[in-house]
Amino acid sequence: MMGNYYGGGYGYMGGFGLFFMILFCGLIIWAIVVGVRMMSHGQGGHPCCGRAQGDEAEKLLRARYAKGEITKEQFDQMKKDLSI
């Protein structure tokens, strides 16, 4: 009678304890993955985000060339540097 306080040795929550522990560990792993992905987006790691930034850079570069602020050689070199 003394050693059977929690009933059957499965702890306070019974069989659900293991389920909730696995669920909790899964949520921790998911949060880490999401955090790493968010940090890589800031560095242009995601293809769609990196291309959107490239489009904006190309627009600015073309506008500067159209206004005559840069020469054709500068335009070509900057475009090559940006890998557009």
For 53-67, the pLDDT digits (tens) are: 668 888 999 999 999
Question: Per-residue pLDDT tens for 17-36?
Answer: 778 889 999 999 999 999 88
pLDDT, mean over the chain: 77
Q: Residues 64, 46: contact at Cβ < 8 Å?
A: no
Place of tokens 């949060």: 31
C-alpha–C-alpha distance, residues 27 and 25, integer Å? 5
pTM score: 0.39
Stretch 41-61: mean pLDDT: 66
Going 76 to 57 to 38 to 48, the CA torsion angle's sign is negative
